[in-house]
Structure 1
Amino acid sequence: MSTIAKNILQRCASLGGPGLQFSRSLNANRAVVTKIGRTIYERTYPDTLMVKPDGSTIRIRYHIPRQIIKLPFDIQESSMADLKRIKALRTQREKKTDVGEDLKVKAFDPLDYLN
Structure 2
Amino acid sequence: MSSWWADSSRALLTRVHRQAYARLYPVLLVKKDGSTIHIRYREPRRMLEMPVDLDVLSPEERRARLRKREAQFRDKKEEPELGDDFDMERYKQFWAKK
Same fold (TM over 0.5): no
Q: TM-score, normalised by structure 1?
A: 0.39
Q: TM-score, normalised by structure 2?
A: 0.45
Structure number with greater Rg is: 1
Higher helix share: 2
Work out which structure has the larger RCO, using CA pairs closer than 8 Å and 6 or more positions apart in sequence. 2
